[in-house]
């Protein structure tokens, strides 16, 4: 029982401390190493969030879906484009 717990902790620690070196392609893409993908359960089509912490790039697997809202009626493409344009204009004005 104790040895299983120790093995489990060793595995978690080795995953937490895993560091791999990757190369940036001319399209500014990197390949996530297989060991990292497996450890975090990252699959084709998954989303990752990208952030900067100091001088580090941090990739995190996004588990939740984007929020959706019900308008209570059908909303057309033109209405969506107008709402986006209004929101962008407000953002650019600093409202």
Domains of the chain: 21-67 (2.10.260.10)
pLDDT at res. 32: 95
Q: Which residue has the tokens 């995953």?
A: 15
pLDDT at res. 20: 83
SS3 73: coil
Q: Which residue has the tokens 């937490």?
A: 16
Q: The tokens of 69 are what?
A: 């809202």
C-alpha span between 73 and 21 (Å, rounded)? 50
Quote the pTM value: 0.50
pLDDT at res. 5: 66
pLDDT at res. 23: 96
For residue 11, what is the DSSP state? H
pLDDT at res. 72: 78
Q: Which residues of the chain have pLDDT under 50?
A: none
C-alpha span between 78 and 57 (Å, rounded)? 37
pLDDT at res. 95: 73
């Amino acid at each position: 029982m104790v040895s299983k717990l120790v093995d489990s902790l060793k595995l978690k620690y080795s995953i937490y401390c895993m560091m791999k070196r990757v190369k940036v392609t001319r399209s500014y893409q990197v390949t996530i190493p297989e060991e990292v993908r497996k450890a975090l359960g990252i699959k084709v089509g998954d989303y990752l969030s990208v952030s900067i912490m100091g001088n580090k790039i941090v990739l995190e697997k996004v588990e939740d879906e984007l929020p959706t809202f019900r308008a209570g009626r059908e909303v057309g493409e033109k209405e969506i484009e107008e709402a986006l344009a209004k929101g962008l204009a407000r953002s650019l004005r600093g409202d």
